[in-house]
Amino acid sequence: MSNIVVTQAGISARYAADYQMVFNSDWPSLAIAFEANVQVPYLSSLTIPHNLGFYPLTMGWTILNGVSIGRTFTSSGNLSGPQNDVTLTFDNKNIYLTNNGSFNQVTYTMSIKCYNLDISKGIDYTLPKTPTVKTTYDPSNGIKVVKYGKSIGSTDLRDFILHSRAQSPAVLSIVTTVKNGIIGYNNPVGYVPWTLAFVGGPGQNQKYSPLAPGSQQNGYQFVLANPQQSNPQTYITNSFLTNPNNNFGSLVVLRDPLIVPTTVQANYNG
């Protein structure tokens, strides 16, 4: 079965580079499979069933007084602030939240989203095609599915069920393989991709936690590739990763670049 490709105006679907594609069905999008907003009082723990039966890509945002103060990173020993008060882990059945209150002795609202992507299984969707042409947005080109009662000509992206100029982040790879204590990804398409990291350790019974980039984070190191390197690699490293019975992890590599190449102009309005 052939894939579905929508390219920018004037670009051949057969020869289009990565960034010349407005939509490509070979890249799975991150559909939300479960979401919840919950209150986590000071020095309390919550178990939230998602019942998906797999280890979903899960992200949580800490909200205080109606304002989001950032993503939650459980294994972020070097972070200091209210977003480090609530720890988040998850497995194939539940999400676990604990308010340690090390920064603030308050109740937090947590916004949780689980995506329809199993981070425990390695997979690769990479298309090694680099962007070559600078283009602007053509409103007559692409895919639009409008909500009932809304206009197809609307410039408000909230009016659309699907809009190919504002699609969900697409997945390039999930990397779980450990080599010499490193889970690494060498990107073949000429830019540094947006990457999320998740880790687990002894006594967690295959529970994953989100890992923040930076130097030693509770024993782990999550390094985002340096775009100046000739062969940049994004990786997680930990001396115990050589023994999968102790520590494990996943890199979730998305299509979107951390730094937008100068050869591409993207405008998601309209």
What is the identity of the amino acid at 115?
Y
Cβ pair 76, 215 in contact under 8 A: no
Alpha helices in 198-267 (DSSP H): none
| Token representation of residue 219 | 């024993």
pTM (predicted TM-score)? 0.77
* Per-position pLDDT tens, the chain of length 270: 467 777 766 677 777 766 566 677 777 777 889 999 999 999 999 999 999 999 999 999 999 888 888 888 865 555 566 777 888 999 999 999 999 887 888 999 999 999 999 999 998 876 656 555 455 656 666 678 888 888 888 888 778 777 766 656 778 889 999 888 899 998 766 677 889 999 887 666 688 999 888 765 667 888 887 656 665 688 888 877 777 666 789 999 887 766 554 444 445 454
Burial class of residue 163, CB neighbours in 10 A (0-12, 13-18, 19+): buried
In the three-class reduction of DSSP (H, G, I as helix; E, B as strand; rest coil), residue 261 is classed as coil
The rounded distance, in Å, linking the Cα atoms of 2 and 10 is 21
